A and B are shown apart, each in its own frame.
Chain A
Amino acid sequence: MTESAIGASSPGVAARLPRRPLVGVRDPEAAELWGPVFGDQDVGALDADLTQRYPGRPHGECIAVTGRITDRQGAPVRRQLVEIWQANASGRYAHQADRGPGPLDPHFTGVGRCLTDDQGQYRFITVKPGAYPWHTDFNAWRPAHIHFSLFGTAFTQRTVTQMYFPGDPLLAHDPFFQAVTDARARARLVATYDHELSVPGRALGYRWDIVLDGPAATPRETDA
């Protein structure tokens, strides 16, 4: 299914796509070559563990998701904000607009955030989200995924994307994943199972490295 198929089945989307070409900005003084800065006050100590918000544990398979965020040259994105949101193990978001069939989990809201460390590493503890139907009239299922909101060293690198799980048979049928036509770019969206990252007796480990696009001003080596 293609982008136009998404539009045909999601009312209103076709009227949202700009028709005119983007205008390129090549100004070396553009303010977008700098960007917002975050610090320890912007995240709570427990924000990176989505399984510890309530006295009870959430349903599902506990996972540890970690990876390194770099720019296209491989330089780490240090001390920067990472925000995630996801469905619970039954494929249901704790969001009032989600009328899906999966049950809510009283011990899971599916929202997390953290700062990257000095090597650009982030880490979350959560549960593996369930697949969910995004249309009721035909077979339209989202593969299991975690939404990621990412900041780089420059506002040009700001992006929102989704992490998928390896070997998911729904990836072949998902128009949102398949909308990325370049196979190498599509591969970037899929995490790998990493046995070394699994926490004995607790969580299965997944690695998902992220490469941010876009130019920046000078690298900020000493951000506090």
Chain B
Amino acid sequence: MTVPPPTLVPTPPQTIGPYFGHALPFAGGTDIAPDGHPDTVTVHGHLYDGEGDPVPDGLLEIWQPAPDGTRTGAPGSRRREPAAGHNGFTGFGRVATDARGRWTVRTLPPGGIGYLSLCLFVRGLPGHLRTRLYLPPAQEDSTTDPLLSALPPDRRRTLIAVPTGPHSCRFDIHLQGPEETVFLDFDHGFDHP
């Protein structure tokens, strides 16, 4: 991949604030998997602050390849309809945390990689946070995945979901504290290959 040197000053992010709730969540945003798909995995978790208190005003977005490894997505990411001409899988989901800081999505395992990409928006934070959710079992990934293998075990652990059933797993996000989740930066490093 070659990228010409950047020339324009980017527009900086600003906090999402407390009033996005009537604008961004949408019906079906938590159902990335097509209705009734037998391979559906339920992914759930809590969002905590550094005091261990739940964060009730967060917004989580999920992006991932399709089960066949397709990464180009499909139109209909916020209004999925069979008529859209694909199988109902767009690779995108959006979920607001509830009053107890909980969130749940239903999806299909991505093809080719072991993780879901997350973008997190929280009232009060000056910008968004990015992380990854590695689906269990991720033990193999920890030696072959470029990100997991570069992290010490205690930090790596924060990116790996814990099985809670045959088709479900839990992924808690800690904004701060001893279990602080690993947050990622993609904006630097590609510009000077």
Chain A residues within CB distance 8 Å of chain B: 3, 6-7, 10, 12-20, 22-28, 30-32, 34-42, 70, 72-74, 81, 83-85, 87, 93-95, 97-98, 109-111, 147, 149, 155-156, 158-162, 176-177, 179-180, 182, 184-186, 188-189, 210-215, 217, 220, 224
Cα of A17 to Cα of B50 in the assembled complex, Å = 8
Q: Is the CB of B22 within 8 A of A111?
A: yes
Q: Is the CB of B22 within 8 A of A215?
A: no
**Closest residue on chain A to residue B6 by CB atoms:** A72
Please tell me which one of the listed residues A3, A19, A177 contacts residue B176 in the complex, with CB atoms under 8 A apart. Answer: A19
Chain B residues whose C-beta falls within 8 Å of the C-beta of A36 in the assembled complex: 63, 73, 77, 90-92
Residues A34 and B71 in contact in the complex (CB < 8 Å), given A16-B176, A42-B77, A186-B12: yes
Known: A36-B73, A37-B74, A87-B19. 10 other contacts (CB 8 A): A32-B186, A74-B7, A97-B21, A147-B19, A147-B23, A149-B20, A161-B13, A176-B14, A215-B1, A215-B186
Q: Is the CB of A16 within 8 A of B13?
A: no
Cα of A74 to Cα of B51 in the assembled complex, Å = 43
Chain B residues whose C-beta falls within 8 Å of the C-beta of A161 in the assembled complex: 11-14
Cα of A170 to Cα of B70 in the assembled complex, Å = 47
Chain B residues whose C-beta falls within 8 Å of the C-beta of A13 in the assembled complex: 123-125
Cα of A105 to Cα of B190 in the assembled complex, Å = 47
Minimum distance in angstroms from A117 CB to a CB of chain B: 15
Chain B residues whose C-beta falls within 8 Å of the C-beta of A177 in the assembled complex: 14
17 A-B residue pairs with Cβ-Cβ distance under 8 Å, sorted by A, are: A20-B182, A23-B185, A24-B184, A25-B146, A25-B147, A25-B189, A30-B186, A36-B63, A36-B90, A37-B72, A40-B75, A93-B19, A147-B17, A156-B186, A176-B126, A180-B14, A215-B190
How would residues 154 to 193 of chain B score, 1 for a CB under 8 Å from any chain A CB and 0 otherwise? Answer: 0000000000000000000001100011111111111100
Q: Is the interface of B mostly helix, strand, loop or mixed?
A: loop
Q: Is the CB of A16 within 8 A of B124?
A: yes
5 interchain residue pairs of minimum CB distance = A39-B75, A85-B23, A13-B124, A36-B92, A213-B10
Please tell me which one of the listed residues B129, B147, B176, B180 contacts residue A27 in the complex, with CB atoms under 8 A apart. Answer: B147
Q: Is the CB of A3 within 8 A of B126?
A: yes
Q: Is the CB of B16 within 8 A of A160?
A: yes
Cα of A162 to Cα of B127 in the assembled complex, Å = 11
Chain A residues whose C-beta falls within 8 Å of the C-beta of B43 in the assembled complex: none
Q: Is the CB of A34 within 8 A of B73?
A: yes
Q: Is the CB of B12 within 8 A of A41?
A: no
Chain A residues whose C-beta falls within 8 Å of the C-beta of B78 in the assembled complex: 38, 42, 81
Q: Is the CB of A20 within 8 A of B180?
A: yes
Please tell me which one of the listed residues B8, B72, B117 contacts residue A72 in the complex, with CB atoms under 8 A apart. Answer: B8
Cα of A147 to Cα of B123 in the assembled complex, Å = 13
Cα of A186 to Cα of B119 in the assembled complex, Å = 23
Flag whether B27 is at the interface (Cβ < 8 A): no
Chain A residues whose C-beta falls within 8 Å of the C-beta of B140 in the assembled complex: none
Minimum distance in angstroms from B31 CB to a CB of chain A: 15
Please tell me which one of the listed residues B9, B74, B119 contacts residue A155 in the complex, with CB atoms under 8 A apart. Answer: B119
Chain B residues whose C-beta falls within 8 Å of the C-beta of A28 in the assembled complex: 1, 190
Minimum distance in angstroms from B186 CB to a CB of chain A: 4
Minimum distance in angstroms from B151 CB to a CB of chain A: 7
Q: Is the CB of A27 within 8 A of B75?
A: no
Cα of A95 to Cα of B6 in the assembled complex, Å = 39
Cα of A17 to Cα of B176 in the assembled complex, Å = 7
**Closest residue on chain B to residue A177 by CB atoms:** B14
Minimum distance in angstroms from B52 CB to a CB of chain A: 9
